[in-house]
Structure 1
Amino acid sequence: MTLFFTEMWERFSYYGMRALLILFMTTAVIDGGLGFDDKTSGAIYGLYTMGVYLLALPGGWLADRLFGLKKSVWYGGIIIALGHFTMALPGLVNLFGTAEVEKVALSAFDTNSFFLGLVLIVFGTGLLKPNISSIVGQLYPAGSSKRDAGFSIFYMGINLGALIAPIVCSTLATYDWHLGFGVAGLGMVIGLIQYKLTSQALDGLGDQPIVETPEEKISFNKLKKGTTYVIGALIAIIAVLFTGIIPIDVSAIAGASGTIIAVVAFGYLGYVIAFGGLDKGDRNKVGVIAILFLFSAMFWSGFEQAGSTLNLFAERFTDRTVFGWEIPTGYFQSINSMFIIIFAPIFGAMWVWLGRRNMEPSSPLKFAFGLFALGMGFLVMYFAAKIAASGDLAAPTWLIMTYMLHTFGELSLSPVGLSLVTKLAPKSYGGQMMGIWFLSVALGNLIAGLIAGEASGGSEEALAQMPDQYMLIVYTVLGSAALLFLLKPIIRKMMGEVH
């Protein structure tokens, strides 16, 4: 229960703020936003969502070496809340009013606090997200059937927070963007309070590493001090870059980051295959992880456009008026979580039912179906984009159908991918292979942000090209699904007895 509600409120803060993120950046300054163009906003969105997954790797390391899992969750939650409140800070200034001559200074303050808040949230989430899941795993003995049930309940907490948050934060954001950011932070604070009040339920789990000898204490303190300096320096450098003291091209940084992630991932996988001391069977399995890395990044580059490209489509080109009331754009961000809550038990039961009859699809085939469902969702959006390009507003059912198909894709690919990596990873490389897998999610999130800058229809010319851009996504994703289907026999042979 302690972990369920902590994670629920953390996901409340994350998805509540994410529902507002690209809308706030693209809204004109006079209307309370930052006034960024679509390309810059998409690149920032991609870098932020990439960072959340990327910093889970050092976050796990810090928990193992320094803080322990429980303290890492606590520190991470505090940093996340500070990030949201930093983003909300300009709203307090607005309450007191400001003369026209001060508008420029206030806008700069808004921009600076926005970027500093994002940096803090990325660092905090990197500490909290991987480690709270690890504590869930420690609640149950290895091989216990209760572990899967526990994670299923925990997963419902994630989606419950993600379902409620966009509605609450978007409602308040209609009055002031910063109220939406502030209530996201308040959610994290509520999660921290209940985490501390019920922490006795976690006694003996996720404790700080034990340091006994004087030499270990000296080494531990040096590591702790050095880590503090490094984290502080990183926050300062990133904040300075984004606040404009040093002029940068955000899109160029995003593109370079994607290249670096891909090179690091495949360079490391190649090193493990060539020099990792593995037998032929394990080398083949690592090769399968490398192949599926590409298809995973492809999937997430489409799926994660929910918060960017599709969010902007809901804002600009969707008829959101019901009985004279305009539905806040962010409400559409709750649809995916609603469908997960509805369909996750159905998909789970379906795999079990098919398995009993020896008809369950192999993991690569489930992957291919996930990509196929993603492509079909964007095919729906192609027709919605045609309506928008003609000058009319699209009905909200287009987006609802797209989110439903994308949810089917997520349920076919995401849990299967996580499970498959644990089965394929050689014994001495389990954690590292999972880290590589999360790099594919980070890369996909980054690409999603870059695509948003090109497919958002922010100008008349871009609007005319929008249907073709959606169709290009359809061709790419469905082509990837077809390629994976053709590679299925080779992949299954490389997997050996793993299915």
Structure 2
Amino acid sequence: MNTSKSVAGATPSGTGALFFIQIFATLGFAVLYSTLVLYATKRLAFSESQANAMMGVFGAFNYGLHLFGGYLGGRYLSNRNLFVLGMVLQVAGCWVLSGQSAEGLYWGLAMFLTGSGLNVTCINMMLTQRFTPEDNRRESAFLWNYAGMNLGFFIGFTGAGYFQLTEHYEALFLFATLGNAVAIVVSLLRWKILRDIDTPLLHVSKKQFRLRMLAGLAILVILVPLIRIMLTHADFTGSFVIGLGVMIFLLLGFITLRHKPHDERRRMSAYLLLAMGSLVFWMLYQLAPMGLMLFTEHNINLNVYGIQVAPQWVQNINTLVIVFGGPLLAVGFRNLRERGWRIDIPLQFASSLFIIGLGMLVLPLGIMLAGGDGMVAFKWIVISYVLQSIAELLISPIGYAMIGKLAPARYQGVMMGCWMMVTGVASVLAGYVSGMMPENSGSTPVLTNPGYSHIFTLLGWGSAAVGLVMLMLMPLLRKLIQPSVTR
């Protein structure tokens, strides 16, 4: 037996490079994701409601543009070209943010969001294209890649927390550019291996290719000032993103109804039902950099064994669970399936909703057991994040992997982007929910704890209710996903 040969051929060429690229590409986003609300309130004197609304729009554009990124990468610039150009925009955006002004905030975010919003779909498409639709190794590859992404989050959160303790934001944003620069270098070194596979752009003439490239570059130039304008009108932009999300969902539903191959139409229908259920998960998950961050900053005792814990470091609980849990989950799923357990996408999604609901429900318990000063023990936020992270492992990388399983080849880019658009809509909804949480400025934990407890309770039980609905729909979803039997 040639064991080394079988191991070497275990994953297609390029998957290893994409794992390392994912680590460094995530670092800059991790810094902004975990710091933006604190930076806006502490340095730029934004109110908490303004900061939450801006963070909601930040998430909406970051995830909402993923839909367009799948189209732009597959048909105009190529996935690898758009990925590198997006990383260049992120570097420029972080450099502008380091100037520490309100105007620099909007322009820096516009550049950063144009880059991060468009290029995430590209890296996922580059990965999924390296597997055939029936290749079961795809799920493991995405779990490993998801672990790599969260390793990047760990580095970013750790650096962000270090600079947050001294509020040295200029150095923090310059630090954010390092990972993006490394991702660019690795991509260029592995350029040929990361080429696109079977995208519409590959089937056009050379003249059309050049014209599409120019059109794609023009789109990037136009997007930056457009996003800059929309960032200053957060309320309108939030409503626009939700409306756009509804329209895209209805359009995809219409496309599904008209799609001819019977089995493909059934799988697309299952995709739409799963996407609807995932909206609740992502809304709760996106509270981390908004209302949950402010709750952690003001109502959690961050002095642990004499060490002052930065708020961003708390989010590393999530990254550690993902980094170690992702590969373990991939192995565990394989072993259980070999023993005959039916662990599939519908079961994973329903379980995820129950677990993240529990992650919300432990917080009111911690508030109830808080001391006389209202400060909640650190262990409760740890338990909550561990549960949220387990739920994330069951839905997020599985969701990416399901695109290759459920989406027809011609719609893979659009459906990958639509899956991410769900997260963008959820980010806006999370901003609204965070806006309903108590205002911490000028208040105390004793006064704000009841309001937090009420919101967390509603969210927890609401998620459990949607999980129950998904559980009831599981036989239907399994029937839709499985190929129909022909006689």
- TMscore range, shorter length: 0.7 to 0.9
Letter in 2 for 1:359: W
**1:5 lines up with 2:49 in the alignment:** no
Match of 1:134 among 96, 120, 125: 125
User: How far does residue 463 in structure 1 lie from its aligned partner after superposition?
Assistant: 4.4
Change (3 A) 1:115 1:384: farther
- Residue equivalent to 1:104: none
> Structure 2 matches for 1:63-462, cutoff 5 A?
63-90=73-100, 110-137=101-128, 151-175=142-166, 176-196=168-188, 198-199=189-190, 202-203=192-193, 205-206=195-196, 216-217=206-207, 219-242=208-231, 248=233, 250-265=234-249, 267-279=250-262, 281-386=263-368, 391-426=373-408, 428-455=410-437, 457-458=439-440, 460=443
User: How far does residue 428 in structure 1 lie from its aligned partner after superposition?
Assistant: 4.4
8 Å contact kept, 2:367–2:374? no
CA distance in 1, matches of 2:217, 2:195: 24
The SS at the match of 1:174 is helix
CA distance in 2, matches of 1:426, 1:414: 20
Question: Can you list the C-alpha shifts for 1:302-348, whole angstroms capped at 9, x where unaligned?
Answer: 11222222211221111111354421111111111101122223322
The SS at the match of 2:416 is helix
User: How far does residue 456 in structure 1 lie from its aligned partner after superposition?
Assistant: 5.2
CA distance in 1, matches of 2:236, 2:312: 28
Letter in 2 for 1:190: V
User: How far does residue 399 in structure 1 lie from its aligned partner after superposition?
Assistant: 0.9
8 Å contact kept, 1:317–1:388? no
CA distance in 1, matches of 2:408, 2:387: 34
8 Å contact kept, 1:314–1:329? yes
8 Å contact kept, 1:285–1:424? yes
CA distance in 2, matches of 1:489, 1:206: 37
- Residue equivalent to 1:17: 32
User: How far does residue 222 in structure 1 lie from its aligned partner after superposition?
Assistant: 4.3
TM-score calculated relative to the size of structure 1 = 0.83
Change (3 A) 1:429 1:149: closer
- Residue equivalent to 1:475: 461
**1:465 lines up with 2:451 in the alignment:** yes
Question: Can you list the C-alpha shifts for 1:457-496, whole angstroms capped at 9, x where unaligned?
Answer: 5365654322111111012101111121122233333334
- Residue equivalent to 2:475: 489
CA distance in 1, matches of 2:160, 2:452: 29
8 Å contact kept, 2:277–2:466? yes
The SS at the match of 1:394 is coil
User: How far does residue 406 in structure 1 lie from its aligned partner after superposition?
Assistant: 0.9
- Residue equivalent to 2:10: none
Listed as ranges, the gaps of 5+ residues in structure 1 are 28-32, 91-109
8 Å contact kept, 1:38–1:456? no
8 Å contact kept, 1:389–1:463? no
CA distance in 2, matches of 1:270, 1:342: 37
CA distance in 1, matches of 2:460, 2:369: 17
Q: How many pairs were matched up?
A: 462
Letter in 1 for 2:52: G
CA distance in 1, matches of 2:20, 2:134: 25
CA distance in 2, matches of 1:234, 1:339: 36
Change (3 A) 1:113 1:386: farther
Letter in 2 for 1:34: L
CA distance in 2, matches of 1:193, 1:356: 40
User: How far does residue 450 in structure 1 lie from its aligned partner after superposition?
Assistant: 2.3
8 Å contact kept, 1:50–1:446? yes
**Structure 1, 283-292 or 468-477: larger mean CA deviation:** 283-292
8 Å contact kept, 1:173–1:179? no
- RMSD, aligned CA: 2.9
- Residue equivalent to 2:49: 39
User: How far does residue 238 in structure 1 lie from its aligned partner after superposition?
Assistant: 2.8
CA distance in 2, matches of 1:211, 1:139: 18
Change (3 A) 1:148 1:276: closer
Listed as ranges, the gaps of 5+ residues in structure 2 are 1-15
User: How far does residue 179 in structure 1 lie from its aligned partner after superposition?
Assistant: 1.9
Change (3 A) 1:365 1:195: closer
CA distance in 2, matches of 1:143, 1:35: 53
CA distance in 2, matches of 1:151, 1:288: 20
Question: Can you list the C-alpha shifts for 1:111-145, whole angstroms capped at 9, x where unaligned?
Answer: 11111111111111134322233334566788778
The SS at the match of 1:430 is helix
CA distance in 2, matches of 1:210, 1:493: 35
CA distance in 1, matches of 2:365, 2:93: 39
CA distance in 2, matches of 1:60, 1:322: 44
CA distance in 2, matches of 1:68, 1:241: 27
Question: Can you list the C-alpha shifts for 1:431-458, whole angstroms capped at 9, x where unaligned?
Answer: 3333322222222222222222222553
User: How far does residue 300 in structure 1 lie from its aligned partner after superposition?
Assistant: 0.7
Determine what percentage of the aligned residue pairs are the same residue: 22
- Residue equivalent to 1:61: 71
CA distance in 2, matches of 1:252, 1:472: 26
Question: Can you list the C-alpha shifts for 1:205-237, whole angstroms capped at 9, x where unaligned?
Answer: 249967996xx52x4454444444443333223
User: How far does residue 67 in structure 1 lie from its aligned partner after superposition?
Assistant: 3.0
- Residue equivalent to 1:100: none
The SS at the match of 2:44 is coil
CA distance in 1, matches of 2:290, 2:404: 31
CA distance in 2, matches of 1:194, 1:26: 36
Change (3 A) 1:75 1:204: closer
8 Å contact kept, 1:69–1:206? yes
8 Å contact kept, 2:27–2:176? yes
8 Å contact kept, 2:125–2:413? no
8 Å contact kept, 2:25–2:179? yes
The SS at the match of 2:440 is coil
